[in-house]
Structure 1
């Protein structure tokens, strides 16, 4: 289980851009973790269904990182005044 209070406290000290960078790095780390689980599951003969599940989770994490990178890029392209006054864009 995560220390939610600790994470919120740490994130509250970061800028929006720093939070996005943290999030992106976390998603990429998660993708590496799932790829390693897929590799080990395959090596242990735990079944292709489990291997494919881990591979799908890795791909999902990479997709999340790309979405966040796109959000960061979109934010960076806004004029500074608009960045300060507008909330982060939500993706559907």
Structure 2
């Protein structure tokens, strides 16, 4: 598994997990807190099994990604919580 922040521009991969504070969290096990990174990512539409493409990844800058038909800008703090399967990058 590779954090989304490690993917280079143009790479596509499948989301295999979403971390919260360094711990893997299963979908639906949040505590309702909007300070929870995993909950925030799911509210934005990031779920396990989805394909994500990195459109731009420059050191120190937010990532520009494509998720389904949308382009989104993710801060590096949130993006590092998205795990991509090692066979997909």
Larger radius of gyration: 1
TM-score by length of structure 2 reads 0.27
Which structure has the higher relative contact order (CA within 8 Å, separation 6+)?
2
Q: Going by fraction, where is helix more abundant, 1 or 2? A: 1
